[in-house]
Amino acid sequence: MSDLPDYTKYIVQAPRDAISITLDYGSLTVQPMLTRPAILDGINVKTKIALVTDYLKQCCIKPPACTVAGPAGTMNSYEGGYMCRALIQKAGSGEQDLARDCLDHWVTLQKTNGSFSQSYYPGLNVSGTHDEVEDLQVDSGTAVLCWAMADYDNISPGGGTRYKTVVQKGMAFLKELQTHMINKWGVKLLSNMIKAGVYDDVALYADCSECLLAIKACLDTYGGALTDSNGSSVATLGNDLYEAIGQNAYAGDAGRYWFTGYPDGTQPLVTFTYKEKLVVCQALTSWAVYVWYHSGYCTKPDYTGPCEKALDCTLCLSHGKWGGFIYSPYYALKDETLFEYVTYTAMMVMAMDAVNSSKYANYITAGTNFLKWLHLGDGRCFDFVRPSGELDVGRVLVAGIQAKEEFGWLALNPALALLAGA
């Protein structure tokens, strides 16, 4: 027996997707068959495909006109706003009318304080409306829906006002969130949410920045004299928010990034993987601060100095090998990966294009190509690419183990990619 080859030298550590199963008579490691496509197949590179809206229209809009996060998902105000914005911008045959129908359906769900809940069940209840998944109203969900409504009215011949009253109510909700932060901390940022009637004491800069972008879109459509439903100036709301971001969000030139939230390091009522230097925060904050200052509505000092610095730092720390962007800088910690995501890449492409399109031209091209690599011909987008080049969708975590059941093809991925021009 001593003459047998040493087979142990051929044993390698099981890939991270392998699942260990404990049985009565021992343990078994199951390695699923690799069926995921990849950007590279040998020496051949996957074809880049320009995005289309087919998947959004055929699978992510349910009767009567419900925008859902995925084919089996909930109606989310945030995703719904971006889906409608993508259809309006793409402007294919009947797509702007479809966006209008979806927005009309959302109007029926607006609360008395002007907000929309974060998510609803798409099936109609006995009253012919939708039950909330949770009593939760987030700043960015309402803001992005208002942004989409302003976009629709903006392309209407002669300047539309179909959604002006709804938008004014939404702006009043954002003002309500700002008032809470003034009373709590003396800063004019926005409380991130109201959960079961309780105001969040935390502001997230990415969300605040999306709200600022939405405020600008509303002013672009309805004019600089726009007021909310309580008669308060929407331009003043935007200026106060812009200045609060400019005075509090930047970590300084020693770090060259925008903080994640205020107070720094504090989780909001709905927690998440809180890190600093988040790509989505660097993208949205740089984008919003830059375009607000250069709009015709800004009456505050110039806070745009950090915009390129934060984008440059992100390109150095979080730009992946395939041209996309990871969640945050990688330090090999347990909760970190080098996965490059569609959503973060799309946000960075739009931010770089807004802040300095000539300086970032090569990175914008790389990001756009990345989005096209992760796209299928019917309009679906993979969620992320692994360092190996394998394409994948998001997965459910069950008891700390990655389950094989997938979320499906999320609507937000193609919506943001379309808005980024892929």
pLDDT at 365: 97
Q: Does 261 map to a domain?
A: yes
CATH code: domain of residue 317: 1.50.10.10
Domain hosting residue 348, numbered range? 7-419
Q: How far apart are CA 111 and CA 197, in angstroms?
A: 13
Q: pLDDT value at position 288?
A: 98
Tell me the CA end-to-end span of the chain in Å, nearest whole number.
62
Residue 2 domain-assigned (yes or no): no
**Is residue 263 domain-resident?**
yes
Alpha carbon distance 358, 364 (integer Å): 9
pLDDT digits (tens, 9 = 90+) for 352-379: 999 999 999 999 999 999 999 999 999 9
pLDDT for residue 41: 75
Any idea of the CA torsion for 249, 254, 255, 259, to the nearest 10 degrees? Answer: -20
- Estimate the crossing angle of helix 77-90 against helix 139-155, to 10 degrees: 20
Low-confidence ranges of the chain (pLDDT < 50): 1-16, 18-19, 21, 23, 25, 28-34, 397-399, 404
pLDDT in tens, 161-185: 999 999 999 999 999 999 999 999 9
Instruction: Tell me how many domains the chain contains.
Output: 1
Angle at 334 between CA 332 and CA 335, to 5 degrees: 100
Long-range contacts of 330-336 (CB under 8 A, 24+ apart): 335/273
Distance between CA 268 and CA 193 in Å, rounded? 8
Confirm whether 367 is domain-assigned.
Answer: yes
Residue 1 located in a structural domain: no
Q: What is the pLDDT of residue 73?
A: 87
Of the candidates 142, 151, 170, 171, which has an alpha carbon nearest to the alpha carbon of residue 100?
Answer: 151
Residue 157 lies in a domain: yes
The secondary element (H helix, E strand) that includes residue 136 is strand 136-138
- How far apart, in whole angstroms, are the C-alpha atoms of residue 60 and residue 289? 32
Count Cβ neighbours within 10 Å for each residue of 395-413 and write b for 16 or more, e otherwise: eeeeeeeeeeeeebbbbbb
Bond before 306 cis per omega within 30 degrees: no
Please state the pTM of the whole predicted model.
Answer: 0.90
pLDDT at 406: 54
What pLDDT shows up at residue 10? 35
Instruction: Tell me what pLDDT residue 407 has.
Output: 61
Question: What are the Cα distances from residue 327, in Å, to 223, 280, 340, 343, 344?
Answer: 36, 8, 8, 10, 7
Q: Residue type for 53, please?
A: T
- The Cα–Cα gap between 277 and 257 comes to 6
Res 1: pLDDT: 39
